[in-house]
């Protein structure tokens, strides 16, 4: 199985590139952001709780996102592999993911980190806020999301570096150019 973690700050292009990767490699896409937004759209109890947290730009508790991912991993029959988009966002989530995959006799193959500077992240997310009206794409929340990323999520990079699985890619440029770099890194596997 090919199991990829797509990593990077909010607005770095994870969701965008995940779509390209599943198109080429046929992997199962697991985005915790999308799963949470589906709960919000369904007005479930979990969704209502998550919305308050996401609108502030904070992280949803580890137990909730880990439980959502676990449910999907065990229910998938003979997948070619998974692409994890926006997960793990804490070292605790990364450890839980390793355990879940080990119980299925598999593991993370590669972590791809998209490198984008702060100014570009803010510009992209403000633009998406205007185009799509996502309630967490406003300046105050975006700045907190970036702060939370720097404080709570960047240690995840170290976690995969220590396992020799982390690869950094320049996330600035056209979507097509960045995808070519991703394919090159994936082909080394």
Query: In the complex, what is the shortest distance from the CB of residue 161 to ligand B4P, in angstroms, rounded to a whole number?
Result: 19
Q: Minimum distance between the CB of residue 51 and ligand B4P, rounded to whole angstroms?
A: 9
**DSSP per-residue codes, the chain:** ---EEEE-STTSSHHHHHHHHHHHH-PEEEEHHHHHHHHHHTT-HHHHHHHHHHHHTPPPPHHHHHHHHHHHHHH-SS-S-EEEES---SHHHHHHHHHHHHHTT----EEEEEE--HHHHHHHHHHHHHHH--TT-SHHHHHHHHHHIIIIITHHHHHHHHTT-EEEEE--S-HHHHHHHHHHHHHT-
Active site residue 134: yes
182 is a site residue for ligand B4P (CB under 6 A): no
118 in catalytic set: no
Instruction: Work out which of 124, 160, 167, 182 binds ligand B4P, going by CB under 6 A.
Output: 124
Binding mask 25-44 for ligand B4P (x = CB under 6 A): -------xx--x--------
Interface with ligand B4P, residue 16, by CB under 6 A = yes
Q: Which residues are catalytic?
A: 14, 89, 128, 134, 145
Which residues of the shown chain bind ligand B4P in the complex (CB under 6 A)? 10-16, 32-33, 36, 53-54, 57, 59-60, 65, 86-87, 89, 93, 124, 128, 136, 145, 175, 178
């Amino acid at each position: 199985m090919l199991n990829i973690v797509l990593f990077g700050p909010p607005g770095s292009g994870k969701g965008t590139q995940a779509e390209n990767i599943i198109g080429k490699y046929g992997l199962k896409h697991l985005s915790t952001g999308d799963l949470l937004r589906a709960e919000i759209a369904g007005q479930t109890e979990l969704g209502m709780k998550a919305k308050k947290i996401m609108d502030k730009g904070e992280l949803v508790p580890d137990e909730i996102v880990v439980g959502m991912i676990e449910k999907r991993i065990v229910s998938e029959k003979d997948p070619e592999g998974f692409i994890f988009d926006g997960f793990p966002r804490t070292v605790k989530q990364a450890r839980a993911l390793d355990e879940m995959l080990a119980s299925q006799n598999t593991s993370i193959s590669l972590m791809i980190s998209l490198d984008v500077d702060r100014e570009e992240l803010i510009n992209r997310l403000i633009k998406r806020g205007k185009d799509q009206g996502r309630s967490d794409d406003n300046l105050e929340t975006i700045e907190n999301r970036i702060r939370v990323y720097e404080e709570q999520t960047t240690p995840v990079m170290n976690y995969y570096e220590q396992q020799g699985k982390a690869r950094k890619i320049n996330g600035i440029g056209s979507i097509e150019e960045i995808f070519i770099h991703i394919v090159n890194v994936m082909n080394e596997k």
